[in-house]
């Protein structure tokens, strides 16, 4: 496992005006962070508690991934945090010593110490004042590391529990800094609407391209939808109107929104590549099952366009998590409802092509790959009220080896059999990052 010092990395990134090449384990991580370039040692899985299963609480579960370890492929730690909060996403601080995780229902933020004993994280701090601190945003979702700061996207608000929301900044110590409300048609906050886009004020993911001073946010839906039973929501015509349809370009340094792009169908994850001349990002739309490219044109202006279908859009397979390879050549895309993962050749980002697919389970949500692209991990849960029911409610961590032509099973953990709950987001850990 290679090590990098955070201070040198952050300084170099700021001076050069760009992310550091070939230093990342997952492209879903912030470019300000020290990265794992060797073999990941642990995977931390933020897990939703299930009433009547074990202690019923949300958990940070640690699985051993160390080659040659007697406990490789096994759960070596499970830390319950008290209650069920609709555990969802998590992200490391810029020095990677702490892992921030959120609850979409209770708005609680849990900060885990993963550096003192990486095999056994402990709860360092809980923030119970997110809504009050930020003056209204609800549903802390993405945790994106900036130097000394944590940028958090919210999904909703405490006024109408709809999709209008904001970005919220905290210090690494957990102190509130500032709220940045998303532009709306009524208050564009200085942003320009592109090609007739209507700013909806919704939020979901946030990612940045440092050397271009570009930050992008996507949009999803509010508390009233994501806490509703999935079948009930699909049958509610008014609920189905309450989904976002925009991606916003921001000035990373000033936090000023610049452009609002029309991206219909609830754009979710945003992923920037690592290439020094790669001025674009990918996103997928949940409801229209399309792959979108947000890119800089020849005039230096950013644009958005759909570049490929994902599966059969008429069947609404519901694209969820995506993972871009470190060499920028391939992109894994999961679709929740059909339990499929698909691999796209994105070497020409304007003309992606599907080159492989595999059914992982009855449902699949998150995907994470190692820096070398040889190991691919999948987890299962989307939202407690959206996961399938009965025998199709499969909850797991599945590990595969990618041999260049197919996914070869490595190991599998059944989270229901282990009485752990619903496996959601994954983040890789390493003890060598913190050694002297």
Element (H, E) at 169: strand 166-171
- Tell me whether residue 236 is in a domain: yes
Q: Is residue 166 one of the residues assigned to a domain?
A: yes
- What pairing do the DSSP bridges indicate for beta strands 75-80 and 59-64? antiparallel
Residue by residue, DSSP assigns 116-131 as SSTTS-EEEEEE--HH
Give the total number of structural domains in the chain: 1
Q: Where in 279-394 does DSSP place strands (E)? A: 280-285, 290-296, 302-309, 319-324, 330-335, 340-345, 353-359, 367-369, 375-379
Is 1 a domain residue?
Answer: no
Is residue 349 situated within a structural domain? Answer: yes
* Predicted local distance difference test score (pLDDT) of residue 233: 96
Rounded to an integer, what distance in angstroms lies between the CA atom of residue 47 and that of residue 87?
Answer: 6
| Residue where the block lists tokens 């994106």 | 144
Distant-in-sequence, close-in-space partners of 337: CB < 8 Å, separation ≥ 6: 315, 316, 317, 318, 363
Q: In tens digits, what is the pLDDT along the chain, a chain of 436 residues? A: 333 333 333 333 333 333 333 333 465 689 898 877 788 999 999 999 999 999 999 999 999 999 999 999 999 999 999 999 999 999 999 999 999 999 999 999 999 999 999 999 999 999 999 999 999 999 999 999 999 999 999 999 999 999 999 999 999 999 999 999 999 999 999 999 999 999 999 999 999 999 999 999 999 999 999 999 999 999 999 999 999 999 999 999 999 999 999 999 999 999 999 888 999 999 999 999 999 999 999 999 999 999 999 999 999 999 999 999 989 999 999 999 999 999 999 999 999 999 999 999 999 999 999 988 999 999 999 999 999 999 999 999 999 999 999 999 999 999 999 999 999 999 999 888 777 5
Residue 49 lies in a domain: yes
Q: Is 164 part of a structural domain of the chain? A: yes
Quote the DSSP letter at residue 194: -
Where in the sequence is the domain holding 293, given as residue range(s)?
A: 6-434
Q: What is the CATH number of the domain that holds 49?
A: 2.130.10.10
Beta-bridge partners for 250: 215, 257
- Asked whether residue 151 is assigned to any structural domain, the reply reads yes
Residue 344 belongs to some domain of the structure: yes
Residue pair 257/4 in contact by the 8 Å Cβ criterion: no
């Amino acid at each position: 496992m290679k090590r990098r010092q955070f201070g040198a990395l952050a300084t170099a990134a700021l001076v050069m005006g760009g992310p550091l090449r070939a230093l990342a384990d997952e492209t879903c991580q912030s470019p300000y962070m020290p990265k794992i370039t060797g073999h990941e040692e642990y995977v931390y899985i933020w897990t939703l508690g299930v009433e009547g299963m074990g202690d019923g609480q949300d958990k940070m579960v640690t699985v051993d991934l160390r080659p040659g370890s007697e406990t490789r492929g096994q759960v070596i730690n499970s830390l319950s945090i008290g209650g069920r909060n609709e555990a969802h996403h998590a992200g490391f601080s810029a020095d990677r010593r702490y892992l921030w995780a959120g609850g979409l229902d209770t708005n609680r933020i849990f900060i885990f110490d993963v550096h003192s004993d990486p095999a056994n994280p402990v709860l360092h701090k809980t923030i119970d004042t997110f809504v009050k601190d930020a003056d209204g945003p609800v549903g802390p979702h993405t945790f994106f590391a900036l130097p000394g700061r944590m940028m958090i996207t919210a999904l909703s608000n405490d006024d109408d529990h709809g999709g209008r929301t904001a970005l919220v900044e905290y210090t690494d110590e957990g102190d509130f800094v500032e709220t940045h409300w998303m532009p709306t048609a009524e208050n564009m906050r200085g942003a320009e609407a592109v090609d007739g886009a209507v700013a909806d004020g919704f939020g979901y993911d946030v990612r940045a391209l440092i050397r271009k001073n570009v930050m992008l946010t996507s949009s999803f839906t509010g508390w009233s939808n994501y806490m509703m039973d999935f079948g009930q929501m699909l049958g509610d015509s008014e609920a189905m109107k309450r989904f976002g349809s925009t991606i916003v370009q921001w000035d990373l340094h000033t936090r000023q929104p610049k452009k609002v792009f029309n991206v219909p169908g609830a754009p979710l994850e945003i992923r920037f590549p690592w290439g020094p001349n790669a001025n674009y990002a990918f996103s997928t739309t949940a409801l229209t099952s399309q792959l979108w490219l947000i890119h800089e044109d020849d005039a230096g202006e950013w644009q958005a366009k759909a570049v490929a279908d994902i599966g059969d859009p008429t069947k609404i397979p519901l694209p969820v998590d995506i993972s871009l390879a470190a060499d920028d050549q391939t992109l894994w895309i999961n679709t929740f409802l059909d339990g499929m993962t698909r691999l796209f050749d994105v070497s020409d980002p304007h003309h992606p092509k599907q080159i492989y697919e595999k059914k992982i389970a009855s449902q699949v949500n998150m995907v994470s790959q190692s820096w070398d692209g040889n190991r691919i991990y999948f987890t299962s849960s989307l939202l407690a009220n959206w996961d399938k029911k009965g025998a199709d409610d499969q909850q797991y961590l599945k590990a595969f080896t990618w041999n260049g032509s197919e996914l070869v099973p490595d190991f599998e953990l059944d989270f229901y059999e282990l009485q752990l709950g619903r496996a959601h987001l994954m983040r890789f850990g390493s003890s060598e990052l913190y050694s002297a």
